[in-house]
Chain A
Amino acid sequence: MVAGLWGLAAAPAARAAANPVAAAGAQPIAGPSTGLTSLNGMSIARDGTGGVVFLSQVSGAEHVFVSRLTGGVFGSPEQVDTGLSGASGQPVIAAGNNGLLLVGFINSGNLYVSQTPGASASFAAPVKLHTGAENPALQMTNWGKAYLAYTAPLGSGHYDVDAEYYDNGAWQAVSAPLNVTPGDDAGTGVGRPSVAAAGDGVGIVAWGENGHVYARRVWGTSPSVEDEQLDPPNFGGAAEVSSGTPVVSVGGDSPYPDIAYDEQLSSGPDTWNRVLMTRLIAEDVGDTVAVDNLSESTPGNAGQPAIAMSEYGRGYVLAGDDSTDQLIGMPLTNQGVPAASPAPVSQGPSTAPIAGVPAVAGTSAVVLAWEQSSGQPEVVERYTPDGTTLGAPQVLSAPGAQVQPGDGLAAAGDNGGDAAVAWVQGSNGALSLEAAQLYQPPIAGQPSVKSAYARTPTPTLRWSAGQARWGPLRYQVTLGGHVIGHTSATSLKVPEALVDGPHTWTVTTTNPAGQSATGRKSTVFVDTVPPEVSFSLSGRRRAHRRLSLHLHAVDAPAPQPGARASTVATVRIDWGDGSGLLEDSNLTRAHHVYLHRGGFRIKVAVTDRAGNRTTVTRTLRIAK
């Protein structure tokens, strides 16, 4: 048992994510347009719904737009700061299951939020949460609770870091500022706040203040009585100058957040920048480690910390090595514990410092994305299904796409291993927002029954829907070794008449990336011809005497080459005297004794396995 993780060994094994396949290149979400200015964030919930938020000019002013991700498809951009005059900026987004989206932004120096409860609902009109704010940071738990941290200017160069708590559709202000010293320079510049929302409902806010990095937990609207300084007074034999740019992440358990940050160090005449990471363990400050892979004897400079953690605290922390222009990564295992030493994750030459974006896709899978410039900038990703073994780099942007490294890069994943990477490309005045989706293979749809009979030569074949968080899924039906149709529905009418007899068919489920899965075989037995039936009677036709019925029933095949019949399924004899039905599947002879004289109508009905029925009747008179 892993301490703190209960029952993992006994839990049903979740389907492990595989190295996913990207859909046919990048797809435009918005643009090209003259208005698009920046990509600001992407968030995807466990169920695969989510959205990207970006800024685009309307009448010369920047406004906030969202493209929702529903069923695996990015929708048309929607403006969410409608009704607000003036420019908006610094938008942030957080996604919850079933299409829940929260968007925070700054408009005219004030903090607003707009939200939609689900994929089929419109965004509500923006609501002002706080007058005077900047640097919002937003994250939602797996259970639909969220924390929105921001910097609140108090005037005269004084700032607080505040937060709002979202639960069950409503926002509430956290009861007190989070910074250590009220009215300090908290949350400004490289001290802008970062927030993580743990699955247990506790938020962790990290920020810079007075040259140091701090974190504080918030439970609902109650900030912890404790704040925790993360940056060490010295590291690797060098003294701290200052620290900033904190990024925080956490899994389901709020006791175990990791915070990465820039740390400026000096030793003698030398000054350099490093990226460090410090774990919190409940109210204790854990070990601090370097993320940047720099040598401590001849350190260079690093920056751009980024971090993402999954439910159990697995994930990745990234740093850009400014000396080599490489992206450095360090995997994290349960509860955010470093799983290996930092190592380069980017490959090949780059001519500019690399800023990477990590995202988790399930409990173990991680996607790392970055913009690498080796001549023409391009967007690259590496994916690891198990959190440690990175797949080969994959270029997502099209050749010559004119990726704009300064305009935003975002990545996110769902709980099934799917992930998306978004960026901005194009030329000035004609920028577009692009996304590449990394799909997990679908789970095949299955025929509704293992075998079936049909009385029509063009039966309708039915199957269950394939399973995938992201679609749309399409189905290919193969019958008798030949593809007979494609559909997005879960049934298909056989387009051409089939010869009577059994036909084997399968359905193959395919996702937009072309990944497919074929269900089990099924058989449809076509029988268009009813059985041939005749019978004769023997014995004395008198009451209390035994009468015998001799039946001849044949389910003959249709007059087609190779045709087969389904064979007789049931024979039913109604003697016509109210004595009940005689029913059998293999009846060739039957006996009956009439108890009264009179006229009786014998009815013999023969049904084949496909349901074709032939009924023969005969009237007879029974004497006394």
Chain B
Amino acid sequence: MTRSQMARRTRRWLASSGLALTVLAGASALAAPAPASAQSYQATPPTQGALASDGPADRYLLGGTWLYRPDVGNVGLGDGWWRDTASTTGWNPVSVPNSYNAGQLTKASMNGWVGWYRRDFTLPASAFSHSVPQADRRWIIQFESVNYAATVWINGHRLGEHQVAYLPFQFVLSHLHAGVNRLVVRVDDRHTAGDFPGGGAGWWNFGGILDAVYLRPVQRADLDSVVIRPELPCPRCAATIFEQATVRNLTSHVQKVALTGRYGAHRLNFGRATIPAGATWTPTATVRISHPKLWGLFSPHLYKATDTLSDRSGRRLGGYAWQSGIREIHLTKSGRLDLNGRALSLRGFSIHEQTATTGSALDLAQMQQLISWAQQLGAGIIREHYPEDPEMEEMADKAGILLWSEVPAWRTGNAQLNSSVWRKQAVGMLRDSIEANQNHPAILLWSIGNEFPLSVTGGQASYIRQAVAEAHRLDPTRPVGLATMSWPNIACESAYKPLDVIGFNEYFGWFDSGDGSNDDRDQLSPYLDALRACYPHKALVVSEWGFGGDRTGPVEDRGTYAYQVDEMRFALGVFATKPWLTGAIYFPMQDFAAKPGFDGGDPLGKPPIVDKGVLDRFGNPKPSFAVMQSIYRSTQQIAPAR
């Protein structure tokens, strides 16, 4: 995408009503106080600060005590649970983030239900500058992730709705008043086949408000997001930092503003603008850095990027901050991914953001634990089936671990792929993810999905074309990939031509697939060679491989620790003989709950737990942990600098 294209592009509003839109994420860890009882529920103001340092400045974390009310019969809408009512009857205190079905591994839990959240709050007293008149003050509420469909009310007024977890959205808060304000969120985590992911996905459907909720004061104009794009033509070249901000005038008056920025010690000047009421200003600025310190695998260097919005008198109105990294990702003609001119041979893990106690609502310590395990294991890359939490992304930036960023188009069937409506929604979701996450240097690529049908229909081919084109348009600096289901005897697929990276999920010696063509692990090496012959100019990654292990026993018995270790050693030995292989990502790092009845292929598994992790569900390392750690750490995951 050219800069002029970027400047012309306007943000896409997601709300069916109101002003919901995807947002860029945002510093200090704030511990949520323990829930009080509903009877003694008191409205409290949000706390200044955010869980992540990246993103808009001046955020207030809407933590504290929330209320939750299950609505299994889905009567809440009709019964007016959204109304501005002080009574807490039927409501129970919880803390947010929250999965309302955490710990419930039943079929009903997987299918989902409706749950209602409520937070009574007062507005912070000193959020606004005295110089900003009341008429030019606004509040924005921002949700980082709600699974799955959220409808939001404030003081009985409907603000709008949003669908799809793992992506942020926000609304301008109208109808606020002095004293107690009452926020109500209806969450419906029942998935249909056309959702993201469709019903019956391969990881537990934990519903709820899964990540932080923020309030953000807007003074005159909202510095909503800034694209911070370091461009590095070659590893030893000077870097150009290109930034584009989005400044929205949410008031009914003309606003005169100026925007300046810093990237490390370098200054950027976006200029000044007079923004009509309701209009958006998208200024750009660049700065050249002659001898940049590069963000590298396991050796991240981060520059502090800040942008400040001020009024015509130079008084600060708002800000934006990010820990940015300068690096170059390049697909070579020989079909490899280079990072800063050095070939990648990544080893890593897939993870699910899930714990045995809190479901998919992870606090900072739980996220940090995942990153810490990955670091201990020597992982150079982490993959999830959905965009990582912004806090996780920030941790990966700081750890120098790459991320395979994927949208949850998981095992989508042909009925959806052949639907132009579904494809449009999926491409829109990809767009939202790129817009929200693209400033993170850790993100290696954009993945447009996982395990689509092997017989590629015109619909799938069309989705691949559309999604790749859109990702390249929005972010020309990153490759685009797809994780595919794979085993021998599958013909080379011409529909994969638009892709830069093809991921192959292979389970030689574990799942019995493809008429037994992947039964015998000795066939893994020739199979990989055949893949390379099919796609000599694509970067190829084993995007999934894994073996269960949850008990002691003989090595030849599938599902024992000894078996898991033996198979891991064997597969990694094969991968090591393929110098062209850009990476191999073990699935998963930690055992997780998948779906009712599914044992993950372990003959003596314990549904719904998938036990292929090197850590059990409670964080206890299996024997395979040390084995993987030893092999991963001794693997040269990036070629030496030339």
Binding site for B on A (CB under 8 A): 1, 3-8, 10-12, 14, 141-143, 145, 198-202, 217-219, 222, 224-226, 251-256, 281-284, 311-312, 363, 415
Please determine whether B520 and A255 come into contact, CB atoms closer than 8 angstroms: no
Chain B, range 484-526, C-beta contacts under 8 Å to A: 485, 487, 507, 509-516, 519-523
CA of A365 to CA of B274 in the docked complex: distance in angstroms? 76
Instruction: Bits for B574-601, please: 1 = Cβ < 8 Å to A, else 0.
Output: 0000000000000000000000011111
Closest to A415 in B: B515
For B521, the chain A residues whose CB sits under 8 A away are: 200-201
| Contact (Cβ within 8 A) A4 B604 | no
Kindly state whether residue B529 has any CB partner on chain A within 8 Å: no
Within 8 A of A (CB), among B404-450: 411
Select one of A4, A10, A202, A282 contacting B511, CB under 8 A. A4
**Contact (A311, B553) CB under 8 Å given A10-B411, A201-B522, A253-B558:** no
Taking the closest CB of chain A, its distance from the CB of B358, in whole angstroms, is 27
Q: Is the CB of A224 within 8 A of B556?
A: yes
List chain B residues, Cβ under 8 A from A217: 554, 556-557
Chain A residues with CB below 8 A from B520, complex form: 141-143, 145, 199-201
Contact (Cβ within 8 A) B454 A10: yes
**Known A141-B519, A283-B560: A12·B455 in contact at CB below 8 Å:** yes
Tell me which residues across on chain A come within 8 A of B599, comparing CB atoms.
3-4
A252-B519, A311-B515 as given contacts; A226 in contact with B603, CB under 8 Å:
no
What are the residues of chain B within 8 A of A282 when measuring CB–CB? 553, 557-560, 603-604
| Nearest CB in chain A to that of B553: its residue | A283
Q: Which residues of B contact A256 (CB under 8 A)?
A: 603
Does B453 make an interface contact (CB < 8 A)?
A: yes
Q: A253–B512 contact, CB under 8 A? A: yes
| Minimum distance in angstroms from A571 CB to a CB of chain B | 38
Residues of B within 8 A of A252 (CB): 512, 516, 519
Q: Is B29 an interface residue (CB 8 A)?
A: no
Contacts of A415 in B (CB 8 A): 515
Which A residues are in CB contact (< 8 Å) with B510? Answer: 6
Name the distance in Å between A575's Cβ and chain B's nearest Cβ. 44
**Given A4-B601, A6-B601, A201-B521: A251 touches B516 (CB 8 Å cut-off):** yes
Other contacts beyond A3-B601, A4-B601, A14-B515: 4, CB < 8 A: A3-B607, A4-B603, A5-B513, A145-B520
A-facing residues in B596-614 (Cβ within 8 Å): 597-601, 603-605, 607
A226 touches B554 (CB 8 A): yes
Residues of chain A lying within 8 A (CB to CB) of residue B556: 202, 217-219, 222, 224, 254
Bound-state CA distance A7–B544 (Å) is 14
Bound-complex Cα distance A14 to B598 (A):
25
Q: Is the CB of A7 within 8 A of B516?
A: no
- Interface residue SS majority, chain A: loop
Q: Does B234 make an interface contact (CB < 8 A)?
A: no
Residues of B within 8 A of A312 (CB): 512, 516
Q: Is the CB of B519 within 8 A of A225?
A: no
In angstroms, how far is the closest chain A Cβ from the Cβ of B579?
25
Contact A311 B516 (CB under 8 A): yes
**Is A225 in contact with B522, judged by CB distance below 8 angstroms?**
no
Q: Which 3 pairs between the two chains have the least Cβ-Cβ distance?
A: A6-B511, A199-B519, A252-B516
In the complex formed, the residue of A with least CB distance to B487 is: A7
A284 and B411 alpha carbons, distance in the complex (Å)? 33
Structural contact, A142 and B598, CB atoms closer than 8 A: no
If A4-B601, A11-B514, A282-B604 touch, whether A198 touches B554 (CB-CB below 8 Å) is no
Within the assembled complex, what's the spacing in Å between the Cα atoms of A436 and B560? 45
Q: Are B512 and A6 in contact (CB under 8 A)?
A: yes
Beyond A7-B513, A251-B516, A254-B558, whether A143 also contacts B601 by CB under 8 A is no
Q: Is the CB of A224 within 8 A of B511?
A: no
Most B Cβ at <10 Å: residue of A224, A252, A284, A415? A252
Q: Is the CB of B553 within 8 A of A226?
A: yes
Contact assessment for B557 and A224 in the assembled complex, using a CB-CB cutoff below 8 Å: yes
Cβ of A375 to closest chain B Cβ, rounded Å: 43
Contact, CB under 8 Å: B598 / A143: no
Evaluate whether A363 and B513 lie within 8 angstroms (CB atoms) in the complex, with A200-B520, A219-B556, A283-B557 already known. no
- State which residues 371-409 of B face A: CB under 8 Å: none
Contacts of B455 in A (CB 8 A): 12
Are B512 and A4 in contact, with the CB atoms below 8 A?
Answer: yes
Q: Which residues of B contact A219 (CB under 8 A)?
A: 555-556
CA distance A10 to B453 in the complex (A): 5
Kindly report which residue of chain A lies nearest to residue B414, judged by CB atoms. A10
Question: Does B451 make an interface contact (CB < 8 A)?
Answer: yes
Q: Which of A222, A282, A284 has the most CB of B within 10 A?
A: A282
Chain B, 606-625, contact with A by CB distance < 8 Å: what is the 0/1 string? Answer: 01000000000000000000
The one of B451, B514, B519, B605 in contact with A253, judged by C-beta atoms closer than 8 angstroms, is B519
Q: 22 A–B contact pairs at CB < 8 A?
A: A1-B598, A3-B598, A4-B599, A5-B513, A6-B510, A6-B511, A7-B511, A7-B514, A11-B513, A143-B520, A143-B523, A200-B509, A200-B519, A200-B520, A224-B557, A251-B512, A252-B512, A253-B603, A256-B603, A281-B604, A283-B554, A311-B515
